[in-house]
Structure 1
Amino acid sequence: MPVMKLYGYTLFGNLEYRINTRQLINVKNGKVKKISDTKARFLEFILSNSNGGYLHDEDIIFHVWEKYEMSGSRSQLSNTIKSLNMDFLNVGFNKKLVTWYTKHTYFIDLDEVKRCYVEV
């Protein structure tokens, strides 16, 4: 019996994120951008844990930095979001996946996020 493994995500229909290679791929224009380990942990955490689309900044900081024995802060979180948005732009994609919602909460736009699986 085949086992299904999470391969990545399709964001907004035209942008793919592949977990194993840490790549953002715009399927319309073919542009590819490999992202850093920190941005990959951030992206994977928000895509798999943002129930209802909202996440508290302390939860993100813990799971992206502190869990890996790294120092995390709201400033680092903000810089990671800005940098990821720039990566989206670099592959020709103009939508923002993460936006600031309240003082310590972020909104994750999950309406157009789909999980992609492969058989292993």
Structure 2
Amino acid sequence: MERVLAGYYIGRDIRFELEHRKLSSITFKGQEYILRDTMMRLFVYLLKNANGKIVCNEDILFHVWDQHGLKSSSQRLWQVMQQLKIKLIALGAPHDFIMRVEGFNGKGYTLKSELIRPYYFICEKTNKE
């Protein structure tokens, strides 16, 4: 058996499905957002790397924009981050779920790790010979 990451629960009210790129409310049926490419990459990068740690702006810009052939800028990061926060808050996330911080490495972001729970699919391994 193999565990495959399927998504994340954010608090008690939000489900993030990786395969469908969907943020949805568990409490309010029908309230959902499909994330576009850049916002999807940004949120997944934060969930994997800023979960209780600070990720600096430069790392985010490189992994979310530059590695995908897109022009990065602090302004673009701020815009996409604000749009993501608005969606999360509308679904019931606390206002401080994504926090902008300044540390020794400059400016960056962190997430409230106690609200994040990954969930998995259990798949049978197949022998391909």
Q: 1:117 — aligned with what?
A: 120
Structure 1 Cα separation of the partners of residues 110 and 39 of structure 2: 17
Q: 2:55 — aligned with what?
A: 55
TM-superposed CA distance for 1:89, in Å, is: 3.7
Unmatched 5+ stretches in structure 2: 124-129
Q: SS in structure 1 opposite 2:46?
A: helix
Unmatched 5+ stretches in structure 1: none
Alpha-carbon contact 2:45-2:60 (below 8 Å) kept: yes
Cα–Cα, structure 1 residues 112 and 32, in superposed 2: closer, same or farther, change >3 Å?
same
Q: 1:3 — aligned with what?
A: 2
Structure 2 Cα separation of the partners of residues 81 and 45 of structure 1: 12
Question: Among the aligned pairs, what percent are the same residue?
Answer: 20
* CA deviation map 1:8-60 (0-9, x unaligned): 00011210110011100110012111111111100100101125331100001
TM-score (ref. length: structure 1): 0.90
TM-score (ref. length: structure 2): 0.84
Alpha-carbon contact 2:99-2:110 (below 8 Å) kept: yes
Aligned CA-pair RMSD = 1.5
Structure 2 residue identity aligned to 1:98: I
The equivalences for 1:91-106 within 5 A come to: 91=91, 93-96=92-95, 97-102=97-102, 104-106=107-109
Q: Do residues 108 (structure 1) and 107 (structure 2) align?
A: no
Q: 1:28 — aligned with what?
A: 27
Q: 2:76 — aligned with what?
A: 76
Q: Do residues 43 (structure 1) and 43 (structure 2) align?
A: yes
